[in-house]
Amino acid sequence: MCILLVLVLLALCRPVQGTGDTCETCGHRPMDYDSDKSRVVGGRDAQPGTWPWIVSIQSPWQAGTGHVCGGTLIRPQWVLTAAHYFIEARNIEAWRVVAGATQLSHLGPEAQVRNIKRLLVHDQYNNISQSNDIALLELDQPVQCNIYVQLACVPQPSLKVSQLTTCYVGGWGATAEGALASNDMLQEAQVLLIDTHICNGSGWYRGAIHQHNLCAGYPQGGIDTCQGDSGGPLVCRDPRAERFWLVGVTSWGRGCARVRRSGVYVSTRHFFNWILEQTELQPAERPAPTPAEVQPAERPVPTPAETDNATPSPFPYQKLVAFFKLMRELLQYPWAGKS
């Protein structure tokens, strides 16, 4: 029994090998860097694997690396992005999506490249008001999840986004307003969610913000997304779990990092049902099932095991899985000296 207890303790303390090899969960960062140490006063280079759900969407007619805009993996074969970059897009099957990348000019063995099979733009998108600026890309082949490629968690409408205080944006867009070229290295920045009533008020956007938008940045400016970052993720850490929620899709803004001109994002929870309907992962007439009601084979969107009222587990999910696997192996071991 003492040997058994020692082995159990070792299993809980040792690093879990091969975590993130499946796409059954979402919002995890296997290469989890300490977010408190990555707080920024401006955009900076992201470390490999920091944001494993972000992708670069590239056109064969774009100069340089071909980067046009960003996107977010929400299923192995589906990317969520902004609609406005695809209004005049041609030969979409020739475009490509790059997952697992940090530096676009040197992708490295961890990068996965896929072509686009299908583009689905929201049927109520308005390119003048930028309302419903959201689109889906179906890939020709699913990605393989690993420590560099993971899925983001799309929140249900009940998520209280205002309670999430640690949020980040990222992308390969321009690092200065008016810059002609995208950035080669993935950039990251911490931002604050700004109350939409403030963001929509006098001296800010004066009524241009829709009910399905979010604002993020800083009132004084200085940190923001820019051209080429559109379609990329705005993610927030859930303080009760080791996960991130994809709360927004980068949409638009006036200039970059201007005072009282924060970035404007599409709130993903408002489009949860639309996403399920368009991807045919769930019939439109059925309400979204709870995690307990969904069988693994029919899970519409990877969702966290924790509910809104959950408390953090004392051990990370992956280590608990490793623990139970080890226990199963130990119980099957032919112990000698049985009394």
pLDDT confidence of 81, banded at 50, 70, 90?
Answer: very high
Residue 336, in any domain of the structure: no
Question: Chain-wide mean pLDDT for the chain?
Answer: 80
Residue 9 burial by CB count (10 A; 0-12/13-18/19+): exposed, middle or buried? exposed
Residue 21, in any domain of the structure: no
Q: Is residue 332 pLDDT above 60, yes or no? A: no
Q: Which of 124, 123, 126, 101 is nearest to 114 (CA)?
A: 101
Residue 181, in any domain of the structure: yes
Residue 20, in any domain of the structure: no
Q: Is residue 37 pLDDT above 90, yes or no? A: no
pLDDT at position 222 is: 92
* Across 12-37, average pLDDT: 62
* Across 182-207, average pLDDT: 94
pLDDT at position 168 is: 96
Instruction: Based on the residue annotation, tell me whether 59 is a catalytic residue of this protein.
Output: no
Which residues are bridge partners to 314 per DSSP?
none
Q: How far apart are CA 53 and CA 186, in angstroms?
A: 12
Share of the chain above pLDDT 90, in %: 63
pLDDT confidence of 5, banded at 50, 70, 90?
Answer: very low
Ramachandran quadrant class, 231 (left: phi over 0; alpha: psi -120 to 50; beta: rest)? left
pLDDT at position 322 is: 52
Question: 276-327, pLDDT tens digit by residue?
Answer: 999 876 544 444 443 433 333 333 455 454 333 333 333 444 454 455 555 5
Question: 227-248, pLDDT tens digit by residue?
Answer: 999 999 999 999 887 899 999 9
Question: 196-212, pLDDT tens digit by residue?
Answer: 999 999 999 999 999 99
pTM confidence score: 0.77
The least confident of 122-131, 178-187, 198-207 is 178-187
Q: Is residue 94 pLDDT above 60, yes or no? A: yes
> What is the domain-level CATH number for residue 123?
2.40.10.10
Query: What 3-state class would DSSP assign to 274?
Result: helix
Q: How far apart are CA 197 and CA 202, in angstroms?
A: 10
Residue 319, in any domain of the structure: no
Among 28, 59, 67, 84, the active-site one is 84
Q: How far apart are CA 72 and CA 65, in angstroms?
A: 19
pLDDT at position 283 is: 42
Query: What 3-state class would DSSP assign to 46?
Result: coil
> Is the pLDDT higher at 260 or at 31?
260
Among 133, 224, 229, 238, the active-site one is 133
Among 56, 131, 182, 230, the active-site one is 230
Residue 19, in any domain of the structure: no
pLDDT at position 177 is: 87
Residue 7, in any domain of the structure: no
Q: Which domain holds residue 157?
A: 35-282
DSSP for residue 116 = E
Into how many domains does the chain fold? Answer: 1
Residue 2, in any domain of the structure: no
Instruction: Based on the residue annotation, tell me whether 133 is a catalytic residue of this protein.
Output: yes
pLDDT at position 180 is: 76
> Is the pLDDT higher at 9 or at 332?
332
pLDDT at position 65 is: 94
pLDDT at position 239 is: 84
Question: 162-177, pLDDT tens digit by residue?
Answer: 899 999 999 999 988 8
